[in-house]
Amino acid sequence: MDLLCEERVSPGSEGAAVSAPAPRAAAADPVLLRRRVLDNLLRTEERYAVTANYFGTLQTDITPHMRRLVADWMLEVCEDQSCQEEVFPLAISYLDRFLSICTVGKSQLQLLGTACLLLASKLREPGSRGLPAELLVFYTANSVTLADLCSWELLVLSKLKWDVAGVTAHDFLPLLLSRLPLRDLVNTEMVQRHAQTFIALAARDYEFTLHSASTLASCSIAAALRGLGLDGHLSRLHELTGIDLDCLQTCLEQVEEMVQNMIEERVVSVPNGQAREATEWTPPPTQNKAHNNAATPTDVRDVHF
């Protein structure tokens, strides 16, 4: 019996290692859009909700502004590394759940955020595309060590009782969009992308923490539809989720106000009448890491996180 290798090698690639193909995410499964999945998420989301204001009670050394700075930095890391949309909201969920049960000092807040990013990327990135711990240390401008990051990863896991498969607003988007009368009216993929953006922006602000994941998802969809000149379908979203209509209206107004404020902050008028984009953060690192600072926000470095 002859054992033959019929592998074809392209010209010029002899002796070179063949790189493995990039891991691909699983295709959409229509079974996951059934009503029982939505009902299960609605029942489960309460387990991962932060229902109390932990600032001023448990957290006396950090402020909502500090949380916003770290959240902005976490979002920038996710954008720079092209992470899945679910990674950032899940990491913020870990952050808030941890802060609601454990006291954290100013010097530990960015370390906590880094550990949450590490965990969320491991859970939501396909295959082996999770954010490497060494890269996250680099993004902090080496203000944390690899040993500290590994220790805090275990600390976060233990405090969250290893219950890290949390429910986020992203999980509700396809379930709700598939049940709205949007056929032939709008591209639902575009609506979902807009809603994902609103969810990411809302995750940076502590005031949205007290809204449930389903409430934020519903209002992000409604805001995206209204932004495209369509009806927000709040009544239908109320029927699907059972959330009080007044609560949905309040959250929707907050989302739309947040988006409007973001638009106004993006463009800053200058004396000569021109406009420029507002920039608050240092640029992300380039490929040559040896000659560049990390993308840590300047304000965060100033308080020695």
pLDDT of 275 strictly over 70: no
Tokens 């709040």 identify what position?
234
Residue 25, pLDDT score? 61
134: pLDDT confidence band, cut at 50, 70 and 90?
very high
Tokens 């990039």 identify what position?
22
Q: What is the pLDDT of residues 18-68, one digit of tens each?
A: 445 555 666 777 778 889 999 999 999 988 988 778 887 888 889 999 999
Q: Within 10 A of 164 (CB to CB), how many other CB atoms are there?
A: 18
Q: What is the pLDDT of residues 198-232, one digit of tens each?
A: 999 999 999 898 899 999 999 999 999 999 889 88
pLDDT of 7 strictly over 60: no
pLDDT of 281 strictly over 90: no
pLDDT of 271 strictly over 60: no
Report d(CA 155, CA 164) in Å as an integer.
Answer: 13
Residue 33, pLDDT score? 80
Residue 133 burial (CB < 10 Å; 0-12/13-18/19+)?
A: middle
Tokens representing 290?
């040896």
pLDDT of 1 strictly over 80: no
> Cβ distance 199 to 167 under 8 Å?
no
Which residues 6+ apart lie within 8 Å of 111 measured at CB? Answer: 140, 144, 148, 149, 152, 305
